[in-house]
Each structure stands twice: as structure tokens, then as C-alpha cells.
Amino acid sequence: MASPDITSIEVLRSQLAKAIQLEHATIPPYLTALYSIRPGANTDATQILRVIVVEEMLHLTISANLLNAIGGKPDLTVKGFVPSYPATLPDGETDFTVGVGPLSPETLKAFLKIERPAMAPAGKSRHVVRKSDDHSTHLCTLPEDATLRYYSIGEFYAAIRDAIVYLDQQAKAKGETIFTGDPKRQVTSEYYYSGGGKLWPIVDPASAAKAIDLVIQQGEGKTQAIFGDSGEIAHYYRFLQLDKNRYYQQGDSPENPTGPALTTDWSAVWPIATNLKLAALPAGSELYDAAVAFNSAYRQFLALLTRAYNGEPQVLLDAVPRMFEFRNLIQQLICNPLPGGNGNAAPTYEI
Amino acid sequence: MTSSPRLENFVAFSAQITAFNKVEIWGTGLADVYLDTIDGLVGAAVTDALLDAFAPIATLRSDAARTDRLRLEVFGSERLGPVARAIVKLWYIGVWYPLPSTWQEQFGPTARNDAFVPTPAAFVEGLLWPAIGSHPPGAKAPGYGSWRLPPNIPSF
Amino acid sequence: MSPFVKNPNRPDLAALQSDSDYDAIVVGSGISGAIIANELAQAGKRVLIVEAAPETDRTYEGYTEYLNHFYGQSAKDNQSPFPINPNAATPRGSELRKLDPLETNSSSYIVQSGPYVSDTVYTRVFGGTSIHWEAKTPRMLPQDFKTQTVFGQGRDWPIGYEDIETDYETAEREMGVSADVEDQKYLDLKFRDSYVFPMRGLPPSWLDEQVAQGIDNSQVELYGERYALKVRPFPQARNGIPNPAYDGGKGFEPTSAVASHQIDIGGRCQGNTNCVPICPVQAKYHSGKTLAKAFETGRVDLLSQAVASKVIIDDASGRVTGIETKVYHHVSSPAYKTVTLRARLYVIAANAIETPRLLLASGLRSKSGLVGRNLMDHAYLLNWALMPQICGTTRGTSCTSGIVDLRGGSFRRSQAAFAVDIHNDGWGWATGSPSTDLVELVDDGNKFGRDLRNAIIDRVSRQLLLAFMIEVMPSESNRVTVDPTYKDPLDNMRPVVSFAVPEYSMRGAAYARQFAKTLFARLGAEDHTHYDPSNYGFIAYQGDPYEIRGGNHLAGTHIMGSDPSTSVVDADQRSWDHDNLYLVGAGSMPTIGTANVSLTMAAIAYRSARKIIATLNH
Ligand SMILES: Cc1cc2nc3c(=O)[nH]c(=O)nc-3n(C[C@H](O)[C@H](O)[C@H](O)COP(=O)(O)OP(=O)(O)OC[C@H]3O[C@@H](n4cnc5c(N)ncnc54)[C@H](O)[C@@H]3O)c2cc1C
Ligand code: SF4
């Protein structure tokens, strides 16, 4: 195995904390795009986005299980955990940004990039050097040196997978293991809202590898296959259906889905501002207060998740009604016109 | 939704008669749909009269004072009262209930005379449900097991 | 698991007519028909399902259309999601009115010949009434199977609880029942030692808790015996948290929504509080989930928009030789083609009104003369009140808990047993709340703004509706008949129903009213119950007013027994008179006790499927 980037358990923990941040970082863009759809319109896009959001929550939980398994402590309330949008993600030699905005052909393009990361060509380094010349949040950076990024999200996860194997082998040589976490901190299927059988306790390299594979498979597909082992369609292809205006079914080639047709009416979307910040709202207005109220509801939700990931898995069941509560708050913001005719408001996710 | 002064007045009036704030009224996404519906039913002249009657009331400081004046000049008006009551019901449950026949005899027939839902979203956005800390049946589901907790009835 | 649906349609009528290679024809795509079709298909048999309704909701889009239709209706009666289809009409409560003595009302699809007018319904869409049902799934009590022997009332079943206990388990697996076994062990109900339900029980509502705090462990006395009361959760066929201990530790995977592409919705109930008339996410079981598996085998075909109109019999052998079926082209036109469909064996699973209707319209009364007789349905008596405290009414599944302590006991010698539902959806069923409350507060109460908002909280969030589901025993004069005077647009005779609520049930109703008053007193709840003499369900009994509502639990019109002279089918639901004909459904049940009928109906369908497969293999 190539020499891993992650050479100590502490670094592995910090990289897993970044994985949690990364999995979460996709939720605000997806959620906002989902709720930007006008009521009754675009039922196909709605279903597709909804499922993906639910699975991103699952991935978030899996990353927390991974961190817990090696004795770490997930914390979704640390400053900077929620990126300042637009956030920057690596895509091979170049970066791309993902923001909070309405569903549109452009947002769909960014979503496709998130879900189908390019892997470094054989023989090429999985790192790229890039100067941080802006203030946006950069995800998928290397340990210690934030100017170094992984080539892609895929490489970021591959490095974690390699490190788990590598570090556990080293530990085994000393008669130890890196899986020192309390198994009671693992969140299992019965606490998770939807999706039976997809959360298992992570206790050894095998269960950890299986978990990482699930995250990767649900995202980009299993070695480019449209459907994963459980017959489930990968996020990348779910999104691609919106581009191809047709559903995939078993046996299809990526170029040519043959399932039922679908259509997206890109105009049946509320004209919400992209990457809106509180500063753009008149201070003291009802609208400002509503945006602040949303952010504080979201902060409470992250605090609940943190508890769920720190030994109180049953709290996840109570967190679920919260998620529905802010669906209502987001929809409310999205229907409100911004002063001055600049489209509609949106959640700002300034946590 | 593009805003206009008339629509903004309608939102302010709606907020006052439902006890929801303007962000919540806009937040239904239905203010323009409802204003169009009402104009179509009773004629823009009646709606304008309603909004004009509310304009001076809107400037009053205390809610109690606004309520008193609304009783006298809007809800107690032969012409405006039944329309205002229909608007309250529309916001709360998403159904336009027909105006009394006496109103139609005196002020002219409305374009439709049956109870109807202007758009499926109207039912889903009914204010009655958030008022009682609940959700409309069949929509905005609050999540598995949420029903075992006490209701979260918003203060206002 | 989210089942994909294959397209199973066979539109080629000519080819279909000459296809004599089906092992079975199943009429009806409800729970009963779906179970039979799927069991047969899994056993390698070839099946044709004949369904009167269009198959639009077989896909997710069609199903979603119902939902939009539902949102868009100003009066949300319980059939409102389902469009009007005169060619295969569905009864609707809104069509009913009170009858004068000896009057017959034929303006509704079911011709009501009285004296009592029932607002009971079923739904003729793909998936039958299961699209619409509430999905409560209690088992019958062991004592319910032998009420004649034990209480001198009703009839005994030819089989007992022990005979169908494993079929109950199979039905609970297929329908995905959520319940905790500890909660369900009461009276004489028993479960296999290691048994757990597929999914954990749904949490009781906050309203349930408030009622429980007021009445748990209090007692009532009835005919000298004391009964302790307790609020208990009901088993429900809707997806909850899978129980890891299910199936000897193998666990359970819930079946989510059916669609022609992957949507992954409905894996768990979200509390839409709209189980009746339609669950938006399909967390509630409907027979489309079973049918999706059946279609997956490739051995089950579907002929939709096809109304079975005559069962053709060979006079010499008494065997069925075909089913004459009218296939219409569009719901808005009565134009149709008639085809005769053939198979080795025939299963009619069209429900307890439509199955006897079809038989009687075919001139088949059975030697016992009992086809259509012994019509049963639970009699519902509603009682409603305002709790002293805010209870958060209108949240949760339609009903999570109830009081079941009077489902059984020695009092059943004299009066009907009942189960009580605590309705999470408030007074809606009784009064049309909350829209009626709103209209009253605004129009009569002159409320708006803050006053209105406060008044709405006060009026709706404290509502408590107790629905008493009262047992009705079989009686030959309660019946479905046909009459050539009353036909539908396809020239099929419509069902004519004559029904009277038996005295035994009215004694139960009278006690139910008294019991409700006792509970309200214990809870400090304000009784708002009133029964309106102009309502079609109004009954004066011993000088007191009652309104009896239909229970939608239609049963008993082709009753099962061990003697061909006093029953229509045997314990396997095979017709005594026609040995390749099975009448499958709640119509076969000799009594219904105080259990919503469908779980038991599903259990006996599994029993019949075994018999049918054995016969076909013979
Ligand atoms: C509001 C409501 C709530 C309910 N709640 C519960 C509950 O909580 N628990 C419970 O156990 N039960 C409940 N029920 C009852 C339950 O729905 C029925 O017992 C069950 O669905 C009946 O299933 P079935 O397959 O026998 O008949 P159905 O579901 O009625 O299916 C019959 C099928 O046959 C078709 N058909 C009819 N005639 C013909 C013909 N001539 N040719 C071709 N096809 C035909 C129909 O279109 C239909 O698809 C409820 C019912 C209602 C209406
Ligand atoms: S409460 Fe809602 S999600 Fe649950 S079964 Fe009923 S309608 Fe479906």
C-alpha cells in the first residue's frame, strides 16, 4: 500500500471529523434546492432530492459511527462546522463551489460533481496544491496543511479507508486495536428514521470498510454501476435522471436509461436568492427575525445530533420532528419576497 | 412572487385578521393567488374598498384598538363583513365558502357560488394547523413518533 | 425495500379469451385477491386478476394523483381521493338520506331498502378498499370463534383460533404489522411463546396518555362482574421500527411505497394523520405491495376496467366453466365489450357486497339459500367531548390506542361486546371538525385575529372522540340481494341492502353510551355528544336517541360452516355447490366479534391459498 497520508490515530480522528463536516455540508444545498420547488410541481425532482437528503443524513450518521468506533467524539456544534456558502470542493485539477440556491440546471451540475468525484489518474498524486486565496470553506483538505487538497472527494475517502487498515495493522502488531470506542455510542438502524439494515455497529476494519463502501456506493455507484449491491440506485445516477429526463432501470447502461420518462420544469421553482446572508436583510424586520429563527432552529438540530452521536442514540428519534419543523421554516422564507424586488428570501445557514 | 403595494396591503390586512405575522402570510406562497381569487369572485372594487377601510386602521398602535375599529368598520359592515369573514376562513382552512345569499342579492352575485379550494396548496397551507401546533392531514407530516410529545403550540 | 412494479396488463382481449392456460382467475385486487394471486404465483401457478377499476394507481404517479384530488376537494368525505366511476361505482356517504318506513332509496349506488341506512363503504379502485382503509389489525379473540357454544349468541366457526394462529402470523408479516406483544396479551388472546410482531408498536399519542392518566386502573361493573380498564395501543399495518427479534432474530424489512422507479418513501409512518382515506407516503399497507411481488413473478396478468358480470356454471357437474366479464373503454362512457374468461379454478374476492352481488346476478343462491344473507358490519356509536386540558388532538395516525377490556366477557350472553377507539383526529367523523368549528367561530362567534386563534386552540386541541365499535351478530334477514329494476350503466344489477341493527347490538350501544358518560366524568371532559333525529343513522332505542354509523367492516354474506345446508363455503372458503369456485373474503366469516375484519380475512385467505395450490397440484 502506498504510504498513507494519515499516520496517527489523532490525524485519522481529525480527518473523520472532516468527513462528518463534508457529509453535512451537502445537506443545506440539497435541502434548499428541494424546498425551492413550487408546491405540486416537479414531483420527480422532489422525490429524487428527498431520498438523497435522507441518505446524506445516513452518511452523516455513518461517519459519526466511524469516528466513535476509533474513540473520537463527533461535534457538530464547533465553530465553522457549517461552511460559509459557497463552499469549495476539489474536482481534480480544479475546484468547484457548491452554494445554497434554487434548483436549476447549474445547481444540478454541481450536485453531479459532488456525487461523482473524479479519481486521480493512475500514477498521479492524490493531492493537489492550491493556495487558499478566498474566504470560503474548503472541504477535503489534507491533514495539517490546509493548502493541500485531495484530488477529489473520492480520494479523500480512499485515504481514510487506507489509513484505517494501515493504523489497525500497526496497532495489531503491538497487540492493540484502534477500535477502542464504546459500542454503545454506535447508532444502529432502529434509531434511524428510514432505511432499515443500513446502519451496523462499527467495531473492526471489516465493518468500517463496509460502512465506507456504502457511503461511496450510494454516492457515486459501485465501480460505476448504476445500482448498488442492494439494488439501490446511486445518487449520481439519481441526479443524472433529471438531466436525461428518464429513470434508470436494472440492466441499463449509464448513457441510456430506459425507465419511465420524467420531466423537470425549471421555471416551477421559487426565485430565491443564492447564498443569501443575514446582512442583506433589513435588520429588525420580521423577515430578518425569521431568518435568525431558522438559523437557531438549525443550530439546535445540530446540537441534538451531537448528543445522538455521543452516547444518546435515542435522541435521533426526537431530532426527526425537528427536521420537519425546519422544512416549514425554510418554505416560509422561500415564499417571502426580498425587499427591492430581488427575488425571494432563503435560509442563510449562518450558524 | 412579485410584490405590489396592493398585494402588500392585502398581506397586512390578512395578517391582522388571522393573527399570523406578515412573514407567515407571505410564507404560504398564496397571498397573490388569494387576492386574485377574491378579486375574481367579488370584483376588485369590493376588495379595494376592504383594503381602503383597513388602511387607516393599520396605522393604529394597539391591537385592541385595531380590533375595535375592524369590528365596527369592516366585520360589522353589511358590504365588507361577509367578505372579510370569507377571507378569514380561506386563510385558516383553504376553502372559499360562498357568501350569504342576502349579500349577493344586495351587492351582486359572486362569480361562483359554491365552496371550493382555489388550489390544492390552499388546503396544505391552512393556518389552522400551525395555530394548533399541528399539520394538515395528509401533508407536512411531522415525523414518526412526533405525536407522542405534547403539541408545540406557537405563542403569538 | 421499495418494490418496483412490472406492467402486468393484458389488453389483447381476443388472445385473452382464447387463453385457457390460466390455473386460476381471481376477481378483485383487494387484500383477499392479492394474497391468493401472490401465493399461487409463488407456487408456480399462472393467474389472471380481473379488476373492475382502472389500474392507474398501480404506479406511484397514479397514486399521487389521488392525493392531489383529495387536497383539491372542499368537502373531504372519506371517498374524496377517488374519482367517480359509474361503470364500477363505489358507495359514498354523501349520497345517503334517511328513509321513510318501507321506503327504498335507489339514488345511491347501493340500493338502500332499510329500515336502517348504513353509510358503510368500500372502494372500487386497483388495490380495492386497502387504499382507503385505516389498517388497524387486531386478531379476533379465541372466544369469538365459538360464541354460540359459549354465549348462546351468533354462530360457531368451523375452525378455532388455534387453527389459524400461524396464518395470523403470516398475515402480520405480509401486511407489516407494528405492535408489541406485551400490549396485546389481554382477555383470552394468546401468542406463540417466542412470537414478536414484525415491527415495534407505534408510540401512543399524547392524547392517549391524557386519557390513560384519567382512567387507567379504574373499573366498571357489568352484570355483576368487574372489569379493569386500561388504554392500550392497537396493532397496525403501517411501518414502524423493525423489531430485531422478529423471526428468531432475523429481523424484518418493511415494504415501502410501490412505484415503477425507485422512490424510497414510506419505509416508516411519518404521522400524516391521513391514514383514511389515503396515506400520502404508503407507510400504510395496501394490497398493491403484495401485488407488486405477484407481478414480479411474471406469472400474474391483470385485466383492468373489467367487471365480472356472470359466473357460468355447467349444470351437470356444478362446476364453473367461465366468467363473463364486461370490459369498458373509459370511465366516462358505458361502452363495453363482453369476454368470457376461463381457467382451471375460480376465486371471487370482490368483497362482502360485490361477491354475493355477482353470485346472485348469476342466479347462484347456493343450496343453503344463504348467499347474500347474514350481512354483518360493526355498528359504530360515536361519543365526543372536550378534555379539560390541551391534548394536541389532530396529530398521529388516525388512532393509536383504545380501550379493549370489554371485547370479551360473560356479559356477551346478554349484550354485544365493543372495542373503543380513541381518535387522534378529533371530532371530524362526528361533526366535520375542524372546518365546522372554524365556520361556527367565524360566522356565529364573530371571531377573527387573536380571538379566533385562541378560540381555535381551545376548541380543537382539546377534542376527544371515542368511537365504539360494537359487535353485530349474523342474522339472515340482514342481506344483500339484486333486483333487475336497479342496474348500473354496464347493465349489471346493483346490490340492494336490507339491514336492521339487531337488538343485541343496540343493548351494547346503550351500554356504550353509558360507559362513555362514565369515562367523560372520570376525565372531567365536557360531553358534546348529540344525536340528530334527521340523520340517516338515527335510531331511537328504549326511548333514547342514538346515531349508528356504518363500520366499513363488511362480512358474512357467504358464510363458512361445516354443513352445506347451513353455510355457503367450507372452512377453506370453497363453495359447497361448485367445487372449482372459492369465495374469498370477509364474507366467509361466520362472526366478526370486535376485531376489524381484515387481518382475520387475510389469515383465512392464506388457508384457502394452501388448499387451492394443493388442489391444483393434485
Ligand atoms: C374507511 C375504512 C376504514 C377501514 N379500516 C379498517 C381497519 O382499520 N382494519 C380492518 O381490518 N379493516 C378496515 N376496513 C375494511 C377493509 O378495508 C376491508 O375489509 C378490506 O379491504 C376488504 O378487502 P377485500 O379484498 O375483501 O375487498 P376489497 O378491498 O373491497 O376489494 C375488492 C376488489 O374487487 C373489485 N371488484 C368488485 N366487484 C368486481 C367485479 N364485479 N369484477 C371485477 N372486480 C370487482 C373491486 O374493485 C376491488 O378492487 C376499512 C374500510 C374502510 C372503508
Ligand atoms: S399517519 Fe400518515 S404516514 Fe402514517 S400511515 Fe397514516 S397517513 Fe401514512
pLDDT in tens, C12-44: 888 888 887 999 999 999 999 999 999 999 999
* Model confidence at C522: pLDDT above 90: yes
- Bridge partners for A90 per DSSP: A95
Instruction: Indicate the top mutation candidate among C122, C304, C480, C492 to test ligand 1's pocket, ranked by most ligand atoms within 8 A of CB.
Output: C122
B112: which 3 cell numbers?
Answer: 361562483
> Rounded mean pLDDT of C274-280?
81
Cα-to-centroid distance, C176 and ligand 1 (Å): 18
Q: Which domain holds residue A165?
A: 9-275
> What span, in angstroms and rounded, lies between the C-alpha atoms of C94 and C115?
18
Query: Which residues of chain B does C443 touch, with a Cβ-Cβ cutoff of 8 Å?
Result: 85
Query: Cα–chain-centroid distance for residue C455?
Result: 36
Helix axis angle for A205-220 and A105-115, nearest 10°, is 150
> Looking at A129-133, B134-138, C80-84, which range is the least confident one?
A129-133
Answer whether C350 contacts ligand 1 (Cβ < 6 A): yes
Instruction: Indicate the top mutation candidate among C120, C131, C133, C357 to test ligand 1's pocket, ranked by most ligand atoms within 8 A of CB.
Output: C133
Query: Which residues of chain A does B3 touch, with a Cβ-Cβ cutoff of 8 Å?
Result: 337, 341
Cα-to-centroid distance, C184 and ligand 1 (Å): 25
Using the Cβ of B79 and the Cβ atoms of chain C, whether some distance falls under 8 Å is answered with: no
Q: Name the helix (H) or strand (E) containing C383.
A: strand C379-386
> Rounded mean pLDDT of C127-132?
93
* Model confidence at C265: pLDDT above 80: no
> What span, in angstroms and rounded, lies between the C-alpha atoms of C157 and B104?
62
Cell 358490519 belongs to which residue? C377
Closest CA–CA distance from residue A34 to any residue of chain C (Å): 15
Cα-to-centroid distance, C282 and ligand 2 (Å): 7
User: DSSP letters of C45-78?
Assistant: --EEEE-SS--GGGSHHHHHHHHHHHHT-SS--T
Q: Is C260 helix (H, G, I), strand (E, B) or coil?
A: coil
Banded pLDDT at C1 (limits 50, 70, 90): very low
- Tell me what pLDDT residue C550 has: 92
- Tell me what pLDDT residue A113 has: 85
* Model confidence at C398: pLDDT above 70: yes
* Model confidence at C63: pLDDT above 50: yes
Report the chain B residue with the minimal C-alpha distance to residue C73.
B117
Closest CA–CA distance from residue B63 to any residue of chain A (Å): 17
Q: Name the helix (H) or strand (E) containing C232.
A: strand C231-233
* Model confidence at A251: pLDDT above 90: no
Using the Cβ of A337 and the Cβ atoms of chain B, whether some distance falls under 8 Å is answered with: yes
Banded pLDDT at A223 (limits 50, 70, 90): low
Using the Cβ of A341 and the Cβ atoms of chain B, whether some distance falls under 8 Å is answered with: yes
> What span, in angstroms and rounded, lies between the C-alpha atoms of C387 and C211?
9
Which subunits have 3 or more CB–CB pairs within 8 Å of chain A? B, C
- Does residue A342 sit within a domain? no
Q: What percent of chain C has pLDDT over 90?
A: 80
Q: Whose CA is nearest to atom 5 of ligand 2?
A: C284
ipTM (interface predicted TM): 0.97
C479: which 3 cell numbers?
Answer: 342481506
pLDDT in tens, A274-297: 999 999 999 999 999 999 999 999
> Rounded mean pLDDT of C91-111?
85
- CB atoms B147 and C439 under 8 Å: no
Cα-to-centroid distance, C172 and ligand 2 (Å): 18
> Rounded mean pLDDT of C116-142?
93
- Tell me which ligand sits closest to the C-alpha of residue C282: 2
* Model confidence at A133: pLDDT above 60: no
Banded pLDDT at A318 (limits 50, 70, 90): confident
Using the Cβ of B106 and the Cβ atoms of chain A, whether some distance falls under 8 Å is answered with: no
- Bridge partners for C231 per DSSP: C403
The one-letter amino acid at A317? L
Report the chain A residue with the minimal C-alpha distance to residue B152.
A325
Phi-psi region of B109 (alpha: psi -120 to 50; beta: other; left: phi over 0): beta
Query: Which residues of chain B does A344 touch, with a Cβ-Cβ cutoff of 8 Å?
Result: 1
- Tell me what pLDDT residue B140 has: 83
Banded pLDDT at A220 (limits 50, 70, 90): low
User: DSSP letters of A209-234?
Assistant: HHHHHHHHHHHH-GGG-SB-TTSPBP
- CB atoms C260 and A260 under 8 Å: yes
Domain ranges of chain B: 5-148
C389: which 3 cell numbers?
Answer: 386540558
Using the Cβ of B154 and the Cβ atoms of chain A, whether some distance falls under 8 Å is answered with: no
Contact C162, C594 (CB under 8 A): no
pLDDT in tens, C135-192: 999 999 999 999 999 999 999 999 999 999 999 999 999 999 999 999 999 999 999 9
- Does residue A255 sit within a domain? yes
Cell 369572485 belongs to which residue? B41
- For chain C, what is the mean pLDDT? 93
Q: Which of A40, A193, A333 sits opposite B121 (nearest CB)?
A: A40
- Tell me what pLDDT residue B151 has: 93
* Model confidence at A159: pLDDT above 90: no
Which one-letter DSSP state was computed for residue B65? H
Query: Which residues of chain B does A328 touch, with a Cβ-Cβ cutoff of 8 Å?
Result: 130, 140
Cα-to-centroid distance, A134 and ligand 1 (Å): 64
- Tell me what pLDDT residue C2 has: 47
> Rounded mean pLDDT of C219-233?
97
- Tell me what pLDDT residue A134 has: 59
- Tell me what pLDDT residue A39 has: 84
Phi-psi region of C610 (alpha: psi -120 to 50; beta: other; left: phi over 0): alpha
pLDDT in tens, C554-572: 999 999 999 999 999 999 9
Q: Kindly provide the residue ranges of all beta strands, DSSP E only, lying in C247-352, ordered along the sequence.
A: 300-303, 306-313, 320-330, 333-341, 345-348
- Which residues fall within 8 angstroms of residue C252, CB to CB, at 6 or more apart? A196, C173, C176, C198, C199, C242, C243, C246
* Model confidence at C528: pLDDT above 80: yes
Answer whether C308 contacts ligand 1 (Cβ < 6 A): yes
> Which residue blocks in C491-577 are alpha helix, DSSP H?
503-523
> What span, in angstroms and rounded, lies between the C-alpha atoms of A67 and A164?
11
Interface test with B, best of A324, A329, A338 (most B CBs within 10 A): A324
Answer whether C548 contacts ligand 1 (Cβ < 6 A): no
Using the Cβ of B3 and the Cβ atoms of chain A, whether some distance falls under 8 Å is answered with: yes
Which subunits have 3 or more CB–CB pairs within 8 Å of chain C? A, B
- Could you tell me the CATH number of the domain that includes residue A46? 1.20.1260.10
- Tell me what pLDDT residue C607 has: 98
Q: What percent of chain A has pLDDT over 70?
A: 88
* Model confidence at A145: pLDDT above 90: no
- Tell me what pLDDT residue C278 has: 82
> Looking at A152-156, A205-209, C4-8, C510-514, which range is the least confident one?
C4-8
Taking CA C71 as the corner, what is the angle to CA B80 and CA C60, rounded to the nearest 5 degrees? Answer: 160
* Model confidence at A71: pLDDT above 80: yes
> What span, in angstroms and rounded, lies between the C-alpha atoms of C518 and C524?
10
Closest CA–CA distance from residue C449 to any residue of chain A (Å): 18
Mean pLDDT by 10 residues, chain B (156 residues): 85 98 96 97 96 97 96 97 98 96 94 92 94 89 88 92
Number of domains, chain A: 1
Interface test with B, best of C207, C442, C447, C458 (most B CBs within 10 A): C442
> Rounded mean pLDDT of A95-116?
89
| C282 CA closest ligand 2 atom index | 8
- For chain A, what is the mean pLDDT? 86
